[in-house]
Amino acid sequence: MFGLLVFVAIGVLAWKFVAPGQRFLPEFSRLLTEPKLDSGGLSFVSGRSALSGQFRGRDVSAEIQLPRSKYGTSYLVVKVKTSGVETLTGSQLDSRATDDAARRALFALAMQDLQLTVEDGWLRALWSPKGLFIFPGRYSEEKWRQVLEAMHAVASSLERGPNPS
């Protein structure tokens, strides 16, 4: 009986640490119109889930990889569709998004420890844990709404092109 009680306690404790990650994309989907969650039947085992939808009329995609082993990597990628821009590294993106709104947005995204690139026409923000904490942590609708707003501003700036000097 004691062994069963210990087993249940360990299971509850493990679920407490895993559940926030499993709930992240469903909670994030509330920020999107027409959200489509693709968690698949094996997502609990693989730790990978994806989401698509729209934010302010712009296509958005998100993917989360939860850690599934001691040395497994975990990350969150949020992507916003941008037309006319195929590929940019972080520094190229920084030099292309020069208007005031884009500069403020880039600063806000940097404060969230997001690494930005443009790949295949998508503004891509990568967030991976640094240090010791439970990934992805507690979901904050306000934080992720601000991230999407900032990414929208950067994507709009990139589509407009550089400011004339």
**pLDDT digits (tens), the chain, 165 positions:** 767 666 555 554 444 444 445 688 899 999 999 999 886 666 666 678 899 999 999 999 999 888 766 667 788 999 999 988 888 998 888 888 888 999 999 999 999 889 999 999 999 999 887 665 566 677 889 999 999 999 999 999 999 876 544
The phi, psi pair for 24, rounded to 5°, reads -60, -55
CATH topology for the 2-160 domain: Yope Regulator; Chain: A, (3.30.1460)
Are the beta carbons of 124 and 118 closer than 8 angstroms? yes
| Domain map (residue ranges) of the chain | 2-160
pTM of the model: 0.80
Are the beta carbons of 32 and 54 closer than 8 angstroms? yes
